[in-house]
Amino acid sequence: MTVMHTPAATARPTPTRTGTCAPEPPRHPRPDGQDHYTISEVVAFTGLSAHTLRWYERIGLMSHIDRSHTGQRRYRNRDLDWLDFVGKLRLTGMPVADMVRYAELVRAGDETRAARRALLESTRGDVLTRIAELQDALAVLDVKIGLYAEGTES
Amino acid sequence: MTVMHTPAATARPTPTRTGTCAPEPPRHPRPDGQDHYTISEVVAFTGLSAHTLRWYERIGLMSHIDRSHTGQRRYRNRDLDWLDFVGKLRLTGMPVADMVRYAELVRAGDETRAARRALLESTRGDVLTRIAELQDALAVLDVKIGLYAEGTES
DNA sequence: GGCTTGCCTGGAGCGCACTCCAAGGTCTTA
DNA sequence: TAAGACCTTGGAGTGCGCTCCAGGCAAGCC
């Protein structure tokens, strides 16, 4: 289901271990009583880069964003809600291509509800598997750390 | 600590959702009473490709493997043990560069025990964080799936 | 001897998810 | 009117973890 199932499987787990010393983008809370935001505001809310936001739109992960009279993007609250959800999907490790597929299904309307649900259920299964793997690896790590602690290792 | 901490953070979660239809390499159990194996035997034991095994050696993730008189690799049980451990580290999502660093510390001998332990502890923290993220995402997924189930979504 | 199988090497290529660049338009403030 | 901030685009580049390729050697079998 994941890492190393096929010798060719592309495993790409998460970390980017930062531990301490993370620059941490501001991640402002979204203000309310407003319904359009510039791209840089969305950057501040989501922590995504402007490049990434434009790229998401280009690949169809977001529906077309409204534009100002000069052609600048004006994100609306529903766009930010969608980005929040996409962020969760991203955390699950779902490939972007699958997220795009989900987005297309949403745009396609009501008949795709079953397919969308199936996609989420499958992702749910992946997440459970991944959690189990992590817990397994954690146990090994704990044993090893224990050996170092008592001075038995190496 | 992970995904999206800096806008530039490279997040690369795991899945490769396969669910059904996974080709699954054989993954034979390691026979005992023997202490050298050809690369193709190791492929069978570990599920890694021969390319990947050679690459691991090249980048220093494995110490030099013994050779037969004709220059072919002959893996020993300690190499397989190491590969098992590396597989666990891989499951944690630790970047290969860090595994290489750990391997170098091991080769460097006893004075590096504290550093090695610290590396594992830090990885342990990453794993816990990642599990928490996955559980958070899982909760969102469950809510969404619930909405689809009761016909409220979209 | 010829064929097959299995292994060797260095180096190029790939898929993913961004990330950055160059060249240019528009808006605001001084 | 000029500077500076902020936005636009298409397309090229990056880093990671493999993955594959070409060309070649050695052993076993008919």
Contact A101, B23 (CB under 8 A): no
Closest residue (Cα, C1') to D10: A58
pLDDT at A21: 39
Residues 10-39, chain A: which have Cβ under 7 A from strand C? 10
d(Cα B154, Cα B136) in Å, to the nearest integer? Answer: 22
Domains of chain B with bracketed CATH: 39-149 (1.10.1660.10)
Closest CA to A82 of A115, A48, A112, A110: A48
Q: What is the mean pLDDT of residues B89-116?
A: 96
> The dihedral of CA A85, A86, A87, A91: what is its sign?
positive
Element counts in chain B: helices (H) and strands (E) = 5, 0
Chain A neighbors of B91, CB-CB under 8 A: 3, 13, 133-134, 136-137
Distance measured from the CA of protein residue B39 to the C1' of nucleotide D29, in angstroms: 23
Of A residues 82-141, those with CB within 7 angstroms of nucleic strand C are 90, 95-97
Task: Look up the protein residue whose alpha carbon has the minimum distance to the C1' of D15.
Answer: B10
Tell me the shortest Cα–Cα distance from B65 to chain A, in angstroms: 19
Q: Tell me: the pLDDT tens digits for B45-79?
A: 999 999 999 999 999 999 999 999 888 999 999 99
In this structure, what is the dihedral angle of CA atoms B45, B46, B48, B49, given to the nearest 10 degrees? -10
Q: How far is CA B6 from CA A6, A26, A30, A124, B93, in A?
A: 32, 9, 18, 26, 18
In whole angstroms, give the CA distance from residue A40 to residue A36: 12
Per-residue pLDDT of chain A (154 residues; tens, 9 = 90+): 333 332 323 333 333 333 343 344 445 667 766 788 999 999 999 999 999 999 999 999 999 999 998 889 999 999 999 999 999 999 999 999 999 999 999 999 999 999 999 999 999 999 999 999 999 999 999 999 999 999 888 7
Yes or no: say if A141 and B92 are a contact pair by the CB < 8 Å rule: yes
Q: Which of chain A's residues have a Cβ under 8 Å away from the Cβ of B154? A: 106, 110, 113, 116
